Structure 1
């Protein structure tokens, strides 16, 4: 268990560091906010385009081998970055490498999630998912600080080489894990991948629990992303906070996420998963709506920290539900399809949120939309996600 978790943490550190450092390199070269925004957009695209295919590849092959290949490819892609002549005319090469690196990350997530039930005992899965989500939050909080400290001593290219080495270390860790695939595919073809991907979509559509959980996640992700996309601007312009103050406040939000991940492991098993997800979603919506009445930055941060706590509970609970509900041979594709659906909300939320802020200059409108979308999503999905649990109680 610990080697699997350590490999995940190591890969996540590399991925987060790369996502942070490439825009900085692009900013140094171009001095353009547009190019920086483009870099972030490019890094999101694979999670929408590649992820469904990745699930099919994982379910149709040896998951351990797919992860190993991904780590090696990531190391090679990162090593190509220093070879690019860093000029404005060549910035498209760097964006392409950023896209390819994000492709390997998009493949890694569904494969990693689907291999967990093969390697972790069923009763330990909630705890393991909790550790994974805690790790994600600690990494997201600490990477900007760690990268900033490193750049005081070294260069961005030095960090690129370290990231490449990190991917190789993940390859070694994964290689040391004992894993026997559920089945071996003799003939691996494009047709097989297409049919396999289609089966993944069909399964999600046919399983009411998973289907409505995916719909719920789309709504929750939209509400969260429309809020986050304008949150820094809100704290800076409406409350006149400095960059350092905003960073400190975001650390408080990250702490809420960590507490939520720990709390989730305690809730799972005591209450039905669907019930946990729905009520955590409703609380998330309430926190967004209460932001409309907030009169200070610290009140807003406290409310969103509670929201982040609830978000962590939703994520850990859903990951556990999905790993237990879905047959192992379909898990990779199911993870991929549900993740793709949730990521579709990101560009829609970001663009619409920016348009609303430009035209109204009132963050309360964003908080109101965020809360309403999340709340309506919870109400629409409440019956399908809790029906099975209610029937079980009656029986």
Structure 2
């Protein structure tokens, strides 16, 4: 079963990452419009903000395995439609729309997938399971752009587009073979009422909500820099585009290493609050240290360390949320807390882009991002310490 879970998650995540890179590149190739590329990226984030609460409500009411398979098949059909579409400028809005549909069904996948794991595995091995899932996510994020770079040299856009639906088909087939006994309620679904129930539950979960609020600020700080890495490498450091891949590979390897270390040696052996608060403070210090040396290799090394400690937070946070939340509410709780962190992305990206355009000074980005991580970390760490005394 574990191999099927890994295979399904690997295939769906790789399919999503390839689509995430391929569709904006296709839009740019057809239109040469930076605005339309920005629209394509924005529509990729929008479903994670709008649809995530709906997905959580659905998952707590219906068979999670069926929902995942249906979602994967919808991604398969949307990406297959992309393959059959003629790649010409007159169809660019249809291409963007199909990318939006793929992102929409992918957005449904996460809360359902996260909430089904505690029903498939004993809570003692959840840290290891979450570590493996985080590793797969990091690994696919590395290899997707690398694969595309290679494929563009050998295959046509049409042939590359065919890979995406095939990956979603593999994911659906792998998940179909998983043995799962549904734990769902028989009540009728009411999106507003069901999510209100989850909100009321979260109001009683002070620690989980503190972690979620902190995750918003940490995500804000990280996204300010993450969204600017390409600009920093190519414009600030004048690095050739083909060489940036090696820097991202190193960062990705550090993420995988962090996920493995967290799942095997840290989560479950130390308290969740210590892991999250201390890792966040270390991350803030690393971000501030980026201002010490204006060097491309130093940037990559420090950001690799940031990625490593970020995995400590992610694995600890996911495991705590799965273990502490009532089973009947887990999908909605995952969806709502995930929504909080995703709300940080649009303002963080826009602020970072504006500051770089206006001032062109990365040190200002480092200072603001570091402060966004450090100050909330100290506040919530102090709050947690006071609650224990």
Give me the whole-angstrom Cα distance separating, in 1, the residues matched to 2:152 and 2:224: 31
Residue 372, structure 1, aligned to residue 376, structure 2: no
Q: Where in structure 2 are the equivalents of 1:104-115 lying within 5 Å? A: 104-115=105-116
2:145 maps to 1:144: yes
1:253 to 244, 251, 254: 251
Partner of 2:18: 17
2:57 is the alignment partner of 1:56: yes
Does 2:47 match 1:46? Answer: yes
Q: State the match for 2:182 in structure 1.
A: 181
1:233 pairs with 2:226 = no
- Cα deviation, residue 160, structure 1: 2.1
Per-residue deviation at 1:237? 2.8
Shifted more, 173-182 versus 376-385: the winner is 376-385
| Partner-residue secondary structure (3-state), 1:26 | helix
Deviation, 1:89, is 3.6
The CA RMSD measured in Å over matched residues stands at 1.6
CA contact (8 A) 1:227 1:370 kept: yes
* Contact 1:278–1:378 (8 Å) recurs in 2: yes
Secondary structure class of the residue paired with 2:144: helix
How many Å separate the matches in 1 of 2:248 and 2:169? Answer: 31
The residue that corresponds to 1:2 in the other structure is 3
Q: Partner residue of 1:170?
A: 171
Shift of 1:235: 2.5
Post-superposition shift, 1:83?
3.6
**Does the CA-based 8 Å contact 1:289-1:368 persist in structure 2?**
yes
Number of residue pairs matched? 387
Q: Output the CA distance in 1 between the equivalents of 2:175 and 2:232.
A: 42
SS at match of 1:152: helix
Q: Secondary structure at the match of 2:154?
A: coil
Please say if residues 212 and 384 of structure 1, whose CA atoms lie closer than 8 Å, have aligned partners that are also in contact. Answer: no
For 1:295 and 1:100, how far apart are their aligned partners in 2? 41
Does the aligned pair in 2 maintain the 1:47–1:103 contact within 8 Å? yes
2:208 pairs, out of 203, 210, 214, with 210
Cα distance in 1 for residues equivalent to 2:323 and 2:341: 20
Q: Offset of 1:212 from its aligned partner?
A: 1.0
Q: CA deviation at 1:384?
A: 4.7
**Deviation (angstroms), 1:184:** 4.0
1:343 counterpart = 2:342:
yes
Q: Which runs of 5+ in 1 are unaligned?
A: none
TM-score (norm 2): 0.95
TM-score calculated relative to the size of structure 1: 0.94
Match of 1:270 in 2: 269
Give 1:85 deviation, angstroms: 4.0
Q: SS at 2:228's partner residue?
A: helix
Q: Is the 8 A contact 1:117 1:323 kept in 2?
A: yes
User: Residue 274 of structure 1 aligns to a residue in which SS?
Assistant: helix
- Residue in 2 that maps onto 1:97: 98
Taking the aligned partners of 1:294 and 1:72, their CA distance within structure 2 comes to 48
**1:325 paired residue number:** 324
Do 2:60 and 2:185's aligned partners in 1 also have CA atoms closer than 8 Å?
no
Cα deviation for residue 150 of structure 1 reads: 2.2
Equivalent in 191, 207, 224 of residue 193 of structure 1: 191
Could you tell me how far 1:345 is from its partner in structure 2?
A: 0.6
Q: CA offset at residue 128 of structure 1?
A: 0.7
Counterpart of 1:295 in 2: which secondary structure?
coil
